[in-house]
Structures are given as C-alpha cells and as structure tokens.
C-alpha cells in the first residue's frame, strides 16, 4: 500500500514537472527571440545615425558623433570601432579590431576581454560591420553580458521553480494518494469483516461528500437490505419451524390418542370424526402460516412479479371498511373511514388490500366492545399515510417495534386463529412499495401507520 | 358429466378420483402432461382439472395447446404455487379458475360445479333473476320476495346476485370474496359469514322457507328446497 502511494505521487509529480519545464522552455525561447530582435533593431538604428553623420561630414562626422556619445548619456553597453584602410583605429571604444567568432552577412559576434581589478572577464558582443567610405570599416555593436545574465537568471529561476513545484506536487500527491489508499484500505478491511460473518459491518463514510462517500453509502444501503433479508430469513425459519411444529405436535397427539381409544371404546366412530375435525383445523393453521410466509418472502424479496398498477386507496379503504363493517357492528365496535380524496398510488392492489385488511383485522381483534376503529388517509410531503387507529389496550412503547417482527406474540395478546404474521406481512408489503409500517400510541390504543410514497414503487 | 384429472401424485389423484366419483362425475385420470394432453384432445370432456407442475408437459402448456386448437373445455388449475402472480399467469394461459394446494375438497367441488355451469351460461346474462318467490331485477336494482320489496345495500345486492346466478350450487367463502369483493386472499376471520347472516336477515327473516343455506364445512348455497 505504502509503495503504491509513493509510486502514484512520483508519477503525479513527474508529469507535473515535465509540463512545467515545457512551459518554461517555450517562454524562454520566445523571450530570447524577442530580446535578440530588439538588440538588432537598436544596433541598426544606431548604425544608420552614424552613416548619416558620415554622409554629412565624412570621417570627421563619425568621429565627432562618437566623441559626443562618449561624453553624453547614450546607449548602454554600446561598442564602436572605426578603422582606416591600414587597420589603424580612428575612433571607438575598442583597442583593436577583434577576433570574430561568427559571421552572418554584416552581423558578427565576438568576445572582448575586460579587466576589472585584476579580474579578466569575457564579454560577448554582437555587432554590425559597415563600410561607410573607401577603406573605412565601422563596427557598431552591443555588449550582450546583461542579456546573457538575464537568460542565466531566467534558467536558474525556472530550475528552482520547477524543483519547488515538483517537491510540492510530490508532497501533495503523496498525501492525496495516501488518503485515497487509506480509504480503499478501510473499505477492504470492512469488506473482509463482512465476508467474515459480521453482517452488521458497514463501509466507512468519511462525510466528505465525495465519490468515495457516495459509493460507500450505496454499498451500505445494499448491505442493509441484504442484512435485513438475511435476518428475516433467519428468524422466519426459526419461528416457522416452531409455529409449524406446534400444530404438528397436536396432530400427532390426537392421532395417537384416537388410535388407543379405537382399541376398546364403542364410541370410536364419533371420537374419530371429532379428531379428524380437529386435525383439519391444525392443517388449516399450518397452511395459513405457510401461505403467509410465502407471501412475506415474495414481498421482501421483491419478486411479486405482477406489474404495479394505479390503486385508488380511498376506494380500496371504503371497500375494506365496508367488508369489515358488519363484523365490527357485531363486536359492538364503531368502524369509521375518512380518506383524503385522490389518494392514488402505484402498487399491487391485492397485496395492499391484504395489508390494510390485516391491520383492520388486528385492530378489531384487540378492541373491546364499545370501542372504535378509525381508518384514515393523509397526504403530506409526497407520502401517503394510511392509519388504522383503535381504542384497544395498545402496545407499550418498548414492544411496538418488536410487534412487527415475525411470529412475535406479546404478553397481552389473545389466542390467535390467524397465522400470527398479519402485521409482518403488512410491513413487508409496505417495504415492497418503498414505504414503511410503524406502530404508534393512540392514547389510548394503537395506531398502525402504513406510509407509502405517492407514485410508489 | 365427464371430467379429466391430470395429476402426477398418484395417492392424491386416487383420493380425488374417488371423491369426484362420489359427487357424481365420471372421471378419467392422466398421470403426466403428455398423457393428459393426449386424452384431452382424444375425448370430449365437460371439464379438466390439471395440476400445474407435471412431468413431460406442464399444465399451463397443456391449456395453451388446447386453446390454440380451439378447444374451449373449462380448465381448473391446481397448484402448489399460490401467489397472486402465479394465479394471474395461470388465468392468462387460458385457465378458467385456479386453486392452491392444499385445498378443502368442498372448495374443489364447489369450483368445479361453478366452472361446469359457467360453460353452459348464455353469452348475455339474465337481467331478471328468480328463485322460488325471490325476484331480482338487476337493471332496476330491486329485490322482492313474495311481492314484498326488500331494501338491500349495494354490496348485499351484489352478494345476492352472485348467489342467485349460482342458485343450487355450493359457493365457498373464498369464491364469494373473489367474486363479490375481488379480493384474492384469506381474511383469516369470519367477515364473510357476518355478511351472509345479514343478507339472511334481510331476505329470509319472516318467511317459512329459508333460501340461504349453510353447507357445513364448505360455504353457502341459495336453494329453494
């Protein structure tokens, strides 16, 4: 991991430095070209002036012009030399005709030696050679030391700058890649833990709101779903085994008893019928549990298959209320329904109807005579809530979440003839539609609140 | 009435053949899909009861083949696959009804009876129904018994119409829930019974001869005898 961080940052810094060097080189080239052109223009203009002086008054013109320039403030770093046909120096600031190093038409380049306090330094000069008159040779040039220094300084600055930038890039790159690799490492560690069986483990979310966090959040919601499905599978298997074992146990006992009674008793036929009746009830009970389990499994895994269709919940609730009305009246319970108009969701009508029927069924089961059960829908914040409120004993706050778990029977629950999975199926249907089921306090009584996103799933 | 039972579970098939014979049907049994399809095309049956999962050829395929041949014999599908979706699939394949295993024998008999009757019903359903002294005008939405007008709620009316159209047949609670409420699940309580007892209050109270009869262990039947 560490070596990867270093390798990544070196590559990062090196490419950065290379780009910088290329940039500096281009700037250097264009700058020197500009300065060179400028030097040539200045020399040419100067030479023109001297030729004009020659034109006016011959050699004397040049001499007096050069003399004037030497005495007054004039062009910096200017180099002049005027020689006659024999090569004698007539005027200028050079001791003798220099040894040329390069020649390009009228342009020449050479070096002059300058003594300064015992120190000899060579100074490059660029100059133009002219012949103002017969035998006369005029050299007009510029000492290029300043320009050379500038170039040198430029190179040094660029070098230091590049080095500096490279180091900074290296540092930042190393830190950055170390950070990225640290997060990859954290994710990989978390994954190892989860694979190792810690299903509650989640990928770390740094809170930086970056791509890593987005990915981790996505993966975490995936893990949460997997964990829930696994958990449901685990508890369902456990509880199903238990809930199927009880009726089977009863069936076994009954059959054995019937067998032993058969041996002597004359009432065997009647007893046999009764036993068989009870056995059928047990089988029905087992069938209910299995059916509910299958439905929950389908809803939880989202493999219902049928396409969701628009369902008018207000119509559906009215119909369900009407279905349960006679039973409520028989129990002396007032069942009311009030729906927000246009409560339409996209969903599975049969499953939604069964979920709400289970909630009503549950409410009626726990509400004493003279009590009330109220069905309502409310639309708020893009969510549609179906509430089934009863005036029964309610469920203590600590037990409410548990009551939705499969097969849980709370202490005050009357014996059930159903599957014992009604609320669980309702919760599974809610989740299938992207909603939720919560149990709340009705003060007194219980409110089952089934929330669905409008336009779900 | 001739029935064809296509079921690969030999024990279950044996019981069913016996029970159907006792109910007055003549039953042929086919033990796998190929044989079933062969028998169904060879002979003329009034109804077919087919298991969904069969060796060689599954029940849905048999129905599809029969329907393509123009064979309109009513088919009841039996299946251990019980979800709403499987049901829809079965009906879409051309099945006329769908029953999930395990089922009560009374449920099967009631549904077969309804299925065979449906095959005989005229294309335009009667709008005036009558049983003994009970009369219903479906369009005018009026019900009278012995000339006396009976007021019913919309649902009670629908319930009575459903029963009247199947007068003499046994109608189970799940059939009522499906046919009158369009709900395809087991409500786990006696909601339907309470509705029936209300309807009974409305049309039988004060008359010597009750028309709505409870069929023990099965459901209800509207009959005049």
The C-alpha of B183 sits at a distance from chain A's nearest C-alpha, in angstroms, of 6
Residue A415 has pLDDT above 80, yes or no: no
Residue with tokens 């009764």: A274
Q: Secondary structure of chain A: what % helix, strand, coil (to 5)?
A: 55, 20, 25
Of A326, A351, A359, which to mutate for an interface test with B (greatest number of B Cβ within 10 Å)?
A326
What residues in B contact A351, CB-CB < 8 Å?
Answer: 84
Predicted complex ipTM exceeds 0.90? no
Q: Between the ranges A227-241, A267-281, A336-350, B58-72, where is the mean pLDDT highest?
A: B58-72
Lowest-confidence region among A244-248, A313-317, B135-139: A244-248
CB atoms within 10 A of CB A320: 27
- Positive/negative CA dihedral, B80, B84, B89, B92: positive
Q: Rounded distance, CA B109 to CA A112, Å?
A: 126
Query: Half-sphere exposure (CA, 13 Å, Cβ side) for A152?
Result: 6
The C-alpha of A327 sits at a distance from chain B's nearest C-alpha, in angstroms, of 6
Diameter of chain A measured on Cα atoms? 164
Chain A residue nearest residue B184, CA to CA = A350
Q: According to the model, what pLDDT value does residue A212 have?
A: 82
- Positive/negative CA dihedral, A130, A133, A134, A136: negative
> In sequence order, what are the residues at sequence separation of 6 or more whose Cβ sits closer than 8 angstroms to the Cβ of residue A76?
A146
B212 pLDDT band (50/70/90 cuts)?
A: very high
Q: Does B183 touch chain A (CB under 8 A)?
A: yes
Domains annotated for chain B, with CATH where assigned, are: 2-120 (3.40.50.2300), 128-222 (1.10.10.10)
CB atoms within 10 A of CB A32: 14
Residue A5 has pLDDT above 90, yes or no: no
Q: According to the model, what pLDDT value does residue A450 have?
A: 93
Q: What is the pLDDT of residues B173-191, one digit of tens each?
A: 989 998 899 888 877 678 8
Q: According to the model, what pLDDT value does residue A406 have?
A: 64
Q: What is the pLDDT of residues A166-184, one digit of tens each?
A: 888 888 888 888 888 888 8
CB contact under 8 A, A305 and B155: no
CB contact under 8 A, B198 and A326: yes
CB contact under 8 A, A323 and B198: no
pLDDT > 70: percent of chain A: 90
Q: According to the model, what pLDDT value does residue A268 have?
A: 63
Q: What is the pLDDT of residues A38-93, one digit of tens each?
A: 888 989 988 888 888 888 888 888 888 888 887 777 777 888 888 888 888 888 88
Q: Does B195 touch chain A (CB under 8 A)?
A: yes
Residue A186 class from Cβ within 10 Å (0-12 exposed, 13-18 middle, 19+ buried)?
middle
What residues in B contact A357, CB-CB < 8 Å?
Answer: 183, 185, 187
Instruction: Name the residue among B186, B194, B195 with its Cβ closest to that of A291.
Output: B186
What residues in B contact A327, CB-CB < 8 Å?
Answer: 189-191, 194
The β-bridge relationship of strands B148-150 and B142-145 is antiparallel
The β-bridge relationship of strands B170-172 and B219-222 is antiparallel
Q: Does B189 touch chain A (CB under 8 A)?
A: yes
Q: Does B92 touch chain A (CB under 8 A)?
A: no
* Angle of helix A268-301 versus helix A211-262 axis, rounded to 10: 170
Q: Rounded distance, CA A210 to CA A374, Å?
A: 47
Residue A114 has pLDDT above 50, yes or no: yes
Q: According to the model, what pLDDT value does residue A457 have?
A: 46
Residue B83 has pLDDT above 90, yes or no: no
Of B80, B88, B183, which to mutate for an interface test with A (greatest number of A Cβ within 10 Å)?
B183
- Positive/negative CA dihedral, B189, B195, B197, B198: positive
The two three-digit tokens of residue A210, written as one number: 């970056």
The C-alpha of B162 sits at a distance from chain A's nearest C-alpha, in angstroms, of 16
The C-alpha of B122 sits at a distance from chain A's nearest C-alpha, in angstroms, of 30
Q: Does B84 touch chain A (CB under 8 A)?
A: yes
Q: Rounded distance, CA A403 to CA A421, Å?
A: 10
CB contact under 8 A, B189 and A288: no
What residues in A contact B83, CB-CB < 8 Å?
Answer: 294-295, 298, 304-305
pLDDT > 70: percent of chain B: 95
Is residue B28 within 8 A of residue B3, CB to CB? The reply is yes
Phi, psi of B214 (to 5 degrees): -90, 130
> Strand B97-100's sheet: what is its strand order?
B26-30, B2-6, B47-51, B75-79, B97-100
Residue A13 has pLDDT above 50, yes or no: yes
Of A291, A297, A323, which to mutate for an interface test with B (greatest number of B Cβ within 10 Å)?
A323
Q: Between the ranges A69-73, A221-225, A299-303, A364-368, where is the mean pLDDT highest?
A: A364-368
DSSP letter for A339, please. Answer: -
Torsion of CA B87, B90, B95, B98, to 10 degrees: -30
Q: Rounded distance, CA B54 to CA A142, Å?
A: 108
Q: According to the model, what pLDDT value does residue A275 have?
A: 79
CB atoms within 10 A of CB A274: 13
Q: Rounded distance, CA A305 to CA A293, Å?
A: 17
H or E segment and range at residue A325 = helix A313-330
Phi, psi of A444 (to 5 degrees): -95, 165
Q: Rounded distance, CA B175 to CA B193, Å?
A: 13
The C-alpha of B161 sits at a distance from chain A's nearest C-alpha, in angstroms, of 17
What residues in A contact B189, CB-CB < 8 Å?
Answer: 327, 361, 364, 417-418
Instruction: Name the residue among A283, A291, A305 with its Cβ closest to that of B82.
Output: A291
Q: According to the model, what pLDDT value does residue A59 have?
A: 84
Q: What is the pLDDT of residues A342-359, one digit of tens each?
A: 788 888 888 899 999 999
CB contact under 8 A, A353 and B194: no
Residue A110 has pLDDT above 80, yes or no: yes
Is residue B94 within 8 A of residue B70, CB to CB? The reply is no
Q: According to the model, what pLDDT value does residue B40 have?
A: 93
Tell me the DSSP string of B124-157.
S--SEEEETTEEEETTTTEEEETTEEE---HHHH
């Amino acid at each position: 991991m560490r070596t990867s961080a270093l390798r990544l940052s070196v590559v990062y810094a090196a490419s950065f430095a290379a780009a910088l060097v290329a940039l500096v080189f281009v700037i250097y080239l264009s700058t020197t070209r500009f300065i060179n052109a400028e030097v040539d223009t200045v020399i040419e203009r100067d030479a023109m002036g001297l030729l004009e002086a020659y034109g006016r008054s011959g050699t004397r013109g040049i001499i007096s012009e050069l003399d004037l320039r030497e005495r007054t403030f004039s062009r910096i770093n200017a180099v002049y030399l005027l020689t006659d046909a024999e090569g004698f120096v007539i005027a200028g600031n050079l001791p003798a005709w220099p040894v040329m190093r390069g020649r390009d038409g009228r342009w020449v380049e050479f070096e002059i030696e300058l003594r300064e306090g015992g120190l000899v330094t060579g100074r490059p000069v660029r100059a133009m050679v002219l012949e103002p008159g017969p035998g006369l040779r005029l050299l007009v040039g510029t000492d290029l030391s300043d320009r050379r220094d500038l170039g040198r300084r430029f190179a040094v600055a660029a070098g230091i700058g590049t080095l500096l930038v490279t180091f900074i890039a290296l540092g930042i790159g190393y830190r950055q890649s170390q950070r990225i690799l640290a997060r990859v490492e954290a994710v990989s560690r978390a994954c190892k833990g989860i694979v190792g069986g810690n299903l509650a483990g989640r990928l770390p979310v740094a809170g930086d709101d970056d791509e890593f966090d987005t990915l981790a959040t996505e993966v975490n919601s995936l893990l949460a779903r997997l964990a829930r499905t696994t958990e449901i599978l685990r508890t369902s298997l456990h509880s199903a085994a238990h809930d199927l074992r009880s009726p089977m146990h009863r069936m076994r006992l009954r059959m054995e008893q019937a067998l032993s009674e058969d041996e002597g008793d004359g009432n065997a036929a009647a007893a046999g019928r009764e036993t068989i009746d009870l056995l059928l009830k047990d089988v029905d009970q087992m069938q209910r549990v299995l059916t509910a389990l299958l439905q929950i499994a389908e809803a939880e895994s989202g493999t219902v298959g049928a396409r969701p269709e628009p369902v008018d919940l207000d119509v559906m609730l009215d119909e369900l209320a009407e279905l349960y009305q006679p039973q409520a009246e028989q129990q002396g319970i007032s069942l009311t329904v009030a729906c927000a108009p246009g409560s339409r969701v996209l969903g599975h009508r049969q499953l939604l109807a069964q979920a709400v029927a289970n909630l009503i069924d549950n409410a009626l089961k726990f509400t004493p005579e003279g009590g009330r059960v109220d069905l309502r829908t409310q639309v708020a914040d893009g969510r549609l809530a179906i509430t089934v409120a009863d005036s029964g004993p309610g469920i203590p706050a600590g037990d409410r979440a548990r009551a939705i778990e499969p097969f849980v029977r709370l202490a005050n629950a009357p014996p059930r003839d159903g599957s014992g999975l009604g609320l669980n199926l309702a919760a599974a249907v809610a989740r299938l539609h992207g909603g939720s089921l919560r149990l709340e306090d009705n003060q007194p009584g219980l409110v089952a609140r089934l929330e669905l996103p409008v336009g779900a799933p | 009435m001739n029935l064809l039972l296509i079921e690969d579970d030999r024990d279950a098939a044996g019981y069913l053949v016996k029970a159907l014979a006792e109910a007055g049907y003549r039953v042929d049994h086919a033990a796998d899909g190929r044989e079933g399809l062969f028998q169904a095309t060879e002979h003329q049956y009034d109804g077919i009861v087919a298991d969904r999962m069969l060796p060689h050829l599954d029940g849905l395929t048999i129905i599809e083949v029969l329907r393509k041949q123009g064979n309109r014999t009513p088919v009841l599908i039996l299946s251990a696959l019980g979800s709403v979706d499987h049901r829809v699939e079965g009906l879409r394949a051309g099945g006329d009804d769908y029953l999930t295993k395990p089922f009560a024998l009374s449920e099967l008999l009631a549904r077969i009876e309804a299925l065979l009757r449906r095959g005989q019903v005229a294309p335009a359903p009667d709008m005036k129904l009558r049983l003994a002294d009970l009369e219903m005008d479906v369009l005018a939405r009026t019900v009278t018994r012995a000339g006396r007008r009976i007021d019913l709620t919309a649902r009670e009316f629908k319930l009575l119409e459903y029963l009247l159209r199947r007068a003499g047949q046994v109608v189970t609670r799940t059939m009522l829930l499906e046919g009158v409420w369009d709900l395809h699940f087991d409500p786990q309580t006696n909601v339907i019974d309470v509705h029936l007892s209300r309807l009974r209050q409305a049309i039988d109270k004060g008359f010597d001869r009750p028309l709505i009869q409870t069929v023990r262990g099965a459901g209800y039947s509207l009959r005049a005898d």
